Structure 1
Amino acid sequence: MERKFFNYYAIAVGLFLVWMLMRNQIWSNESLMPGDLVMIYARESGFYFLLLRIVFIIFTLWASFLLWTKGKSKFIWLAATAYSCILLLDTFILGAKYLEFKLVNESWEAAYPMSMFVGLGEAIFNILFTGFVVWLIKDSRKKRLERQQNLYKYDSAFGIQ
């Protein structure tokens, strides 16, 4: 189960990075106005981020199951860091294009709505939330295992060893 997690995880991250590379080829199209580039990028981003969230929620649930059953938290941290890194990379690329646009067209109004930079806050929140979930599951698992071990212990006052 762990081996399959890593294989599917690597495939998913690779596909999302290739898709990001293909999405960012729009910026090299000089025949479109900057506003059109942003609108095409935003339209494509909606489906990209929806699918990204769905895939990494599935990986997080799978990793939570592995954490609950095997006690290893590296799987849930891998899922969280991949999601956060992809969001941060996309935000960084978008920010670089925004600064490039502002250098060329300094007197114009900003062509990028600030809602497109939501990935930064979401990535930070995801890491913090994952830390909380890992703490909660590990603490709960530790208590469950202690109860299971104490279930078969007998009091020596009864004469049972």
Structure 2
Amino acid sequence: MKVCILCVGKIKEKFFVDAIKEYTKRLSRYTKLEIVEVNDEKTKENASDRDIEIVQDMEGQRLLRHIDEGDYVVALDIQGKMYDSVQFADKLAKFEMERHKRVIFVIGGSLGICESILKRANEKISFSKMTFPHQLMRVILLEQIYRGYRIINNEPYHK
């Protein structure tokens, strides 16, 4: 199974880039990892609801170009289901057992994920009721995927 992180925006901060590289290296023992970035859309100052919807739709179209029909899509959405780390590891193991060719975790841009991506998603998960910057969310997601594989393989990892 290939794990794909499909996200809006590029990471510019060195500390995030370094963390992403570290978790990518660690995950290489367990799975094939792919990170796909699409460009974010500039948002006007004091954007109207319609302006926000347009930005989300443009970013969503870019994301959809990277999703194939057979992909299992997990959207990171504040309204999604929450898991603890063991439950998330069980979810990863289930993906492996179901023999999904590619599982895609979608991280939206600063304005969130558009409705078309949420409709395409096979499921939605949330890591918190709080909102995180999408750059930080990428690191959090990678860390939890790594933790999940450590749990699946009965390997020690701090709690």
TM-score (norm 2): 0.29
Q: Which structure has greater strand proportion?
A: 2
Larger Rg: 1
Higher relative contact order (CA 8 A, sep 6+): 2
Say which structure is richer in helix.
1
Q: TM-score, normalised by structure 1?
A: 0.29
